[in-house]
């Protein structure tokens, strides 16, 4: 009888702790809603921060995150089944699976913002959606730890690590890719440069440094960049005859600029 009473008491304490956890989670959601309400007062029309967050950024972030997080959780549950819930470090497994899923899936689905895009206002707004959700989840985890509140195993071992890892990877990867793009551009290994614009820029630099005007034609550079590429090759080879190519001659400004370079040198 005493044992059953103790079990009932433990169950009631557990439920009480879970209620405290859901209370903290609710406060975090309320905090986000208050922030969104405040953001509606910032700017007007197309410049209204709240409108961007509510109608574009948050829905986009949730839609993208749900795919990545869903796949990560499915793989984690598969691992649990395979190892019959005997994983020694379930949180670490959740983190590693999410890193793998986010890095691979994000790379091939173009979900990752390139470093150049992060520097413009629209890029910063999109990243703010990830940061807003990330801060909310991290605060829930921190206060749960500080207040020593018991959280459900699904949250503690699976959902929270997956969400936080996904958000951190999505913020970090653009900078990693930007660094790799810089390295590959410097070494002129342009096939490994990620993104059409950075890759085109790499081929333009490679053409200018090697004098290979064929790269300007072959790598699908846009008209402006192709003309710039040919002029750079002409300067490298000190060959004014390249100014007479149709890509340059058909653009009066480019043609004058190209000729002016050699007239100055003369």
Q: Give residue 123's pLDDT.
A: 52
Burial (CB < 10 A; 0-12, 13-18, 19+), residue 71, is middle
Whether residue 194 contacts residue 116, with contact meaning beta carbons closer than 8 Å, is answered with no
What is the rounded CA–CA span in Å between residue 210 and residue 215? 10
Q: Give residue 73's pLDDT.
A: 93
Q: Give residue 114's pLDDT.
A: 45
Comparing 60 with 33, the larger pLDDT belongs to 33
Dihedral class, residue 195 (left if φ above 0, else alpha if ψ from -120 to 50, else beta): left
Per-residue tokens: 58: 């948050």
Q: Give residue 160's pLDDT.
A: 92
Cβ count within 10 A of residue 63 = 9
- Quickly state the pLDDT bin for 116 (edges 50, 70, 90): very low
With 70 as the cut, is the pLDDT of residue 143 above it? yes
Considering only CA atoms, give the Rg of the chain: 27
Whether residue 93 contacts residue 77, with contact meaning beta carbons closer than 8 Å, is answered with no
Per-residue tokens: 156: 């503690």
Q: For 206-211, what is the mean pLDDT?
A: 87
- Quickly state the pLDDT bin for 125 (edges 50, 70, 90): low
Q: Give residue 223's pLDDT.
A: 67
What is the rounded CA–CA span in Å between residue 17 and residue 238? 77
Q: For 138-159, what is the mean pLDDT?
A: 89
pTM: predicted TM-score of the whole model, two decimal places:
0.70
Q: For 4-12, what is the mean pLDDT?
A: 49
Burial (CB < 10 A; 0-12, 13-18, 19+), residue 243, is buried
């Amino acid at each position: 009888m005493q044992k059953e009473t103790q079990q009932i008491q433990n169950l009631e304490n557990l439920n009480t702790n879970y209620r405290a956890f859901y209370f903290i989670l609710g406060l975090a959601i309320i905090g986000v809603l208050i922030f969104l309400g405040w953001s509606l007062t910032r700017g007007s029309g197309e410049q209204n921060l709240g409108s961007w967050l509510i109608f574009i950024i948050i829905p986009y972030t949730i839609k993208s995150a749900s795919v990545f997080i869903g796949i990560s959780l499915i793989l984690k549950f598969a691992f649990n089944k395979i190892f019959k819930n005997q994983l020694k470090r379930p949180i670490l497994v959740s983190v590693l699976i999410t890193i793998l899923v986010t890095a691979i899936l994000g790379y091939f689905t173009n979900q990752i913002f390139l470093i150049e895009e992060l520097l413009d206002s629209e890029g910063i707004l999109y990243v703010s959606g990830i940061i807003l959700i990330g801060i909310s989840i991290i605060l829930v985890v921190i206060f749960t730890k500080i207040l020593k509140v018991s959280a459900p195993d699904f949250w503690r071992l699976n959902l929270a690590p997956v969400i936080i890892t996904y958000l951190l990877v999505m913020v970090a990867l653009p900078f990693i890719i930007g660094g790799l793009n810089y390295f590959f551009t410097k070494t002129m290994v342009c096939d490994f440069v990620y993104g059409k614009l950075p890759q085109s820029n790499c081929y333009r630099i490679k053409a200018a440094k090697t004098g290979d005007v064929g790269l300007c034609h072959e790598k699908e550079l846009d008209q402006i960049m192709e003309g710039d590429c040919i002029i750079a090759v002409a300067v490298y080879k000190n060959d004014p005859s390249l100014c007479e190519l149709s890509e340059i001659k058909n653009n009066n400004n480019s043609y004058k600029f190209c000729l002016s370079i050699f007239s100055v040198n003369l």
